[in-house]
């Protein structure tokens, strides 16, 4: 399996359990590792792999229109969205960071791994 990655992708969405968090969208930092079949490189054809520009565009659009309480729910939604939107995706590692949300803590976040079922 080969991996395509997008690290440090900034995405805005409404997230949090506290009232003050839910007043404005927050900028989160995503690291996505996307597993695709090694066969995708045999044809030099973008249709045989995952177009990372479209991943950014579609994920940002989707998350801008949604809201979440938990980072865990956001991560799971992201996994299901990517599997549904991009057929070549076989495996995902998603790391989402919520920077500067707690005093004296640089970042908090969640990381999940999922396989296409």
Residues designated as active site: 98
Spatial CA neighbour of 54 closest among 27, 22, 32 = 32
Question: CA 78: distance to chain centroid?
Answer: 5
| Extended strands (E) in the chain | 2-15, 26-36, 67-68, 91-99, 107-115
């Amino acid at each position: 399996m080969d991996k395509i990655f997008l690290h440090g992708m900034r995405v805005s969405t409404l997230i949090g359990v506290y009232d003050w968090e839910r007043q404005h969208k927050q900028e989160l930092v995503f690291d996505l590792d996307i597993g695709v079949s090694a066969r995708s490189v045999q044809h030099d054809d973008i249709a045989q792999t995952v177009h990372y520009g479209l991943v950014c565009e579609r994920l940002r659009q989707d998350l801008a229109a949604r809201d979440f309480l938990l980072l865990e729910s956001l991560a799971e939604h992201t996994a299901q969205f990517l599997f549904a939107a991009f057929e070549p995706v076989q495996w995902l590692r998603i790391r989402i960071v919520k920077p500067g949300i707690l005093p004296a803590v640089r970042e908090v976040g969640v990381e999940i791994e999922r396989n296409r079922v």
